[in-house]
Structure 1
C-alpha cells in the first residue's frame, strides 16, 4: 500500500547520489526535475522526500498534496507496482510526467488516469553552441545584452572552487539582502556549501569593484548541463554571466537545461528571452 511507502520516505541525502544517478542512467531519464542535484537542492523548499529501492526511486511531493508524487524513475515493474498502489489511494496525483510516461500509463492502465499539462513544470532547453555564437536574427536581443554587459566592465572570470567559495557566498548573501526570500537563495547556498560533493561546475565573475556574480550547474546526462544558479549584483548582466559559463563547459555538452518557470511570468519571460530551442512539456496525472 502507498501508506507503507510514505512511511519509508526520508530526506534526500548525499549518499543517495550514486544509486539515483545509476537508476536515471539505466532508464535514460534526463529531466532536470528528477536529477539528484535538483532533488537535493530543492527538497526543503518543495517539501520533497525519497523512497529508494534497488531498481527505482519515488519522490513524495508534499508541497502539492499529501499523496502527490513525482512520476517514478525506475524499472517498468516498479512503475506498475507504484501506479497500482496509487489507484487505491485517495487524492493520489502524479507530477513531472513526460510524454513517454503518459504513453506507458495509458498502455498499462487504459482510461484509468486523466492528464493535464502542467505549464509551470515544463523545462526550457537551449542549444549550447547557439548560445555561445548567438548568430542570426533570433539571437539579436541576446547578443546585444551580452555585448553591452561585457563592454561595461573589466571582467575577470574564475572557475568556482575552494579558493573563492567564500567570495561566492558573499555575492549570494548580498544578492539576497536586496530581495524578498523566495527559497532559491537557500538552494543556492546549499549548492555552494556542497559544491564539490555534488559535482558542480561554475564561475565567479569579478569587476574592478570585486566579486559581482556567481553561476553554476551540473552535467546530468552525457550531453546535458543543468543550469541551477545565477546570481549577479549588477543589473542587466545575467545573460553575459551565463554566456561566460557556457563557453567554459566541456565540449561534449550540447544542451543547456534552464529548468522550469514555476508559472511565474517574470521567470517565464527571462527563459523565453534566452531563445530556447525546445520546451519539454510535462503533465500532471490523476486517477479517474
Structure 2
C-alpha cells in the first residue's frame, strides 16, 4: 500500500524532478510551500511510480508526475479505504479536472472556490508598470525613489536582518491575536531558516540603511516565478509597490509570468492583488469520489 510520511528537507532531491514533469503553475505544486506549511496543514508525502503524492490533512493534492493514472487512482482509493478517510482531491488543476471528467464520467463531484485561485501576472507588466491601469503604482515608485533607498539580494550576510524584521512585523501587526497571521509568520520563518537549502532568491529594501521590506520566491515552473513572501513596514508610502517592482526586475527576467499566490478570501489582500490587474488566475478544484457511481475502476 502507498506509504506517506512527514515531508523533510532532504525530500527535495526526489520531489522537485517529479514536480518538473507536470510543470504546474499552481503554488501547491511547489516543494517550498509544502515544506514550510507542512506543520499547519499536516502535509505528508510519498511516491507512486513517477507521481509525487502529497496529502494535506485528509485531502490529496492531485499528484504531479507521470505514470499509470488508473493504477494511481486505485492506489489512492485503497489507501483511503484502509485508513477510513474520504477519497477526495483538493487544489486540482483544471486540466486534471477535465481529464477526470472525460476518463471517469460521474465518478467524482467537483467544486471550486475563488479564494484559492492564484493570481498570475505578466512579468513585464510588474517590471515596467506601464499603461494607465498601473499609473498609481508608478506614482508610488517615483515618490519612493526620492528617498535615500537601496535594494540588495538576500545573502548569508543579511538574512538575519530579514528574520529580525519578520519578528518586528509580527509585533506591529498583532500576530499573537490572529491564528492565521501566526501560522503565516511561522511558515515565513521556516523559509528564512532554510532559505539557501530551498534554493530561494529574494531582496531587501532599505531606507537610510534600515530594512523596510523583504521578499522571496523562486522559479515555479518553466515560464513562471512564484512570490512566496512579501513583507513591508508602512513607515514610508510605497514600500510594498517598490519591493514588488524591484523583485520583478531583479529575478523574473526571462520568465513570462509571476504567480503571487492566492488571497485566501481576505478582502484587503484581494484588493491589493487585483490592483495589479492579473492576466489570469490559476483555477483550482476539489473532487470527491462518488461511491458506486460512474465508470468502474
Normalized against structure 1, the TM-score is what? 0.90
Helix, strand or coil: the match of 1:162? coil
Q: Is residue 160 of structure 1 aligned with residue 154 of structure 2?
A: yes
Q: Deviations over 1:144-191 (max 9, x none)?
A: 23333333x211111101011111111111101112332111111111
> Which one of the candidate residues 30, 36, 40 is aligned to 1:35?
30
1:9, distance to aligned residue in structure 2 (A): 1.8
Q: Matches of residues 89-168 of structure 1 in structure 2 within 5 Å? A: 89=81, 91-151=86-146, 153-168=147-162
Partners of 1:86 and 1:253 lie apart in 2 by: 38
What is the number of equivalent residue pairs in this alignment?
277
Unaligned runs of 5+ in 1: none
Unaligned runs of 5+ in 2: 176-180, 291-297
Q: Is the 8 A contact 1:222 1:252 kept in 2?
A: no
1:219, distance to aligned residue in structure 2 (A): 0.9
Partners of 1:32 and 1:209 lie apart in 2 by: 33
Helix, strand or coil: the match of 1:199? coil
Q: Is the 8 A contact 2:224 2:257 kept in 1?
A: yes
Q: Deviations over 1:240-286 (max 9, x none)?
A: 11111111115212211001111222221111112211111111111
Equivalent position of 2:178 in the other structure: none
Q: Matches of residues 49-128 of structure 1 in structure 2 within 5 Å? A: 49-62=44-57, 67-77=58-68, 79-84=69-74, 85-86=76-77, 89=81, 91-128=86-123
Equivalent position of 2:6 in the other structure: 11
Which stretch shifts more, 68-77 or 140-149? 140-149
Q: Matches of residues 172-211 of structure 1 in structure 2 within 5 Å? A: 172-181=166-175, 182=181, 183-208=183-208, 210-211=210-211
Normalized against structure 2, the TM-score is what? 0.87
Helix, strand or coil: the match of 1:163? coil
